Structure 1
């Protein structure tokens, strides 16, 4: 899955005694009812946020994670997280350049010679 949006908040890296580390980012989607999505990058993926700045438009590739937790009273709760594993700068100019750089050619009758029917 992927999410495209503008970087609204970039948190500092959190490091724990166990060696675990994570860094979170908030991405605001660009749609009629925009959403502020908290995405976490963990362990070696923290480094992917090194050059990201506030207000950058990015595409983040994500995985949804869910876990079950039983509290001391025996009540089961469920938690979800959104984990990023790849990030790219997003530009509509690059996308349109790729489309316009591909020349289009009309089809000829010879193009259909290899059809199986």
Structure 2
């Protein structure tokens, strides 16, 4: 699955257990501008490094797997948890291309061969 949005937060890498490290990305997703959504993605193990060069405010495209699992507490009540595990991220143009002016191809304003140019300069 993939989704595009703006980076809201990037956490530091956390060593959860001796063999598990995790990092979180919070993405601002605006399907309806009146009610933006803030989605939490997890990067685990070697995928934590994918977030090293991602900065708050950048527009990104995130590729992820949707995971779900049940959990039963001490009283026997069953709950379900979902997570979105990031496996790839692309930083998008972030308006940089729009800030670079685009110019039309130059137009040849000189007179056609054999014609005199009557411009005073």
TM-score by length of 2: 0.72
Q: What are structure 1's unaligned runs of at least 5 residues?
A: 94-117
2:22 pairs with 1:22: yes
C-alpha root-mean-square deviation of aligned residues, in Å?
2.0
**What is the aligned partner in structure 2 of residue 11 from structure 1?**
11
**What is the aligned partner in structure 2 of residue 46 from structure 1?**
48
Instruction: Give 1:27 shift.
Output: 0.4
Q: What are structure 2's unaligned runs of at least 5 residues?
A: 96-121
Distance in 2, Cα, partners of 1:43 & 1:3: 22
Q: Deviations over 1:52-106 (max 9, x none)?
A: 011011000011100011111111111001111000012388xxxxxxxxxxxxx
TM-score by length of 1: 0.74
Runs of 4+ in 1 over 6 A off after TM superposition: none
Instruction: Give 1:8 shift.
Output: 0.5
Q: Which one has a larger percent helix, Structure 1 or Structure 2?
A: 1
